[in-house]
Amino acid sequence: MNEKNGLTRRSFLKKGAMVTALGAVCTAGMVETASAKSGTYATLIDLTKCDGCKNEPIPKCVEACRKENEKKFPEPKEPIKDLWPQKTHDDWSKKRDVINTLTPYNWTMVQKVEIEGEEIFVPRRCMHCDNPPCANLCPFGALNKYSDGSVVINHDLCMGGAKCKAVCPWHIPQRQSGVGLYLKVQPIPAGGGVMYKCDLCHDRIKKGQMPACVEACEKRLGVKKPLYFGRRDGIIKMAHERAKEINGFIYGEEENGGTATLYVSRIPFEKIDAKLKETKSNLLLSKVLNPLREVNGWAKGFVIGPLIGALSAIGLAIYHRREEKKEEKE
């Protein structure tokens, strides 16, 4: 298999070893945690400055995110099969224009609540945790936490098992069925598509650029922008300075063990969270602990990880061998 598809025999075997090792660690309940490094990047979202681009057809951060990641969006094969052994599947391909929730085609959204007569707009996307349970506990090793602070799903390895969504306190990742490796190794009760979410514009950061959402916000509002990007230690310092200036509050510095997405607000986040609950939103701003602290209590749910990884490896090995034989004949 060629390099452009991102999955060579060597990288596959390497990932397989990682999956097996991860499964063993999870089974033993001894997950090694990673701490935030000062060299990583982060974003700050100042809710006192965000107006939700309410006079625009679509919020600029949402528009920029969609444009930047359009090439990564899934193109499912019809007819889309159900998630074996269930009789349902996840399909957002007919609702690509939806922007009021997170989908495989919409990785950033803006929530709106009204508190004490004040409109508050909250841009939402992946929090990019310092110690992400999604990356640490993915049975397929399809998520990685990079040194730049981003948490990225490898769409070439993801099986759509949705464990990442289950362990995410904010339930950020979203699944699209009818795409990915699952199509080639069915039927295995391990997934049914590929998971999608914000990757903090990992490719742009590698080029020395800022995330597309931050750039778009800056182009619209200049120095009055609510979105900031920089080294995490500098962002945390900025958040504390701004919170002191407005006698406000910070979210993201400690939540889930710390994240690379921080918010600052004049209104307590408990009040914002209560209003979000009233809207029946599943994207809340509650105080959350990192699930890995209690991993021994529920790691049994991942005992099947090594088995799934082994079955996946067998299926993929057979598939790749067939493809190699076809190439040899041609």
Contact 287, 164 (CB under 8 A): no
Longest dimension (CA), the chain: 71
Helix residue ranges per DSSP H, 158-200: 163-167, 182-185
What one-letter code names the amino acid at 182?
Y
Structural domains of the chain sorted by starting position, each given as residue range(s) with its CATH number in brackets: 3-329 (3.30.70.20)
For the chain, residues with pLDDT lower than 70 are 1-39, 186-191, 290-330
Kind plus residue range of the DSSP H or E element containing 307: helix 304-329
What one-letter code names the amino acid at 16?
G
**Token representation of residue 229:** 């990007």
Kind of pairing, strands 118-124 and 261-265?
Answer: unpaired
Q: What is the pLDDT of residue 183?
A: 84
How far is residue 181's CA from residue 147's CA, in Å, rounded to a whole number? 27
CA 226 to the chain's CA centroid: 22
Cα atoms found within 13 Å of the Cα of residue 84, Cβ hemisphere only: 11
Q: What is the pLDDT of residue 31?
A: 34
CB-neighbour burial class of residue 187 (10 A; exposed 0-12, middle 13-18, buried 19+): exposed
Neighbouring C-beta atoms of residue 117, cutoff 10 Å: 5
List, for residues 279-302, the tens digit of each pLDDT value: 999 899 998 876 555 543 444 444
Q: What is the pLDDT of residue 18?
A: 44
Give the dihedral of Cα atoms 134, 135, 136, 141; nearest 10 deg: 120
Quote the Cα angle for 193-139-91, to 5°. 15
Q: What is the pLDDT of residue 306?
A: 46
The reply to whether omega before 187 is within 30° of 0 (cis) is yes
**Token representation of residue 22:** 């991860």
Q: What is the pLDDT of residue 289?
A: 74
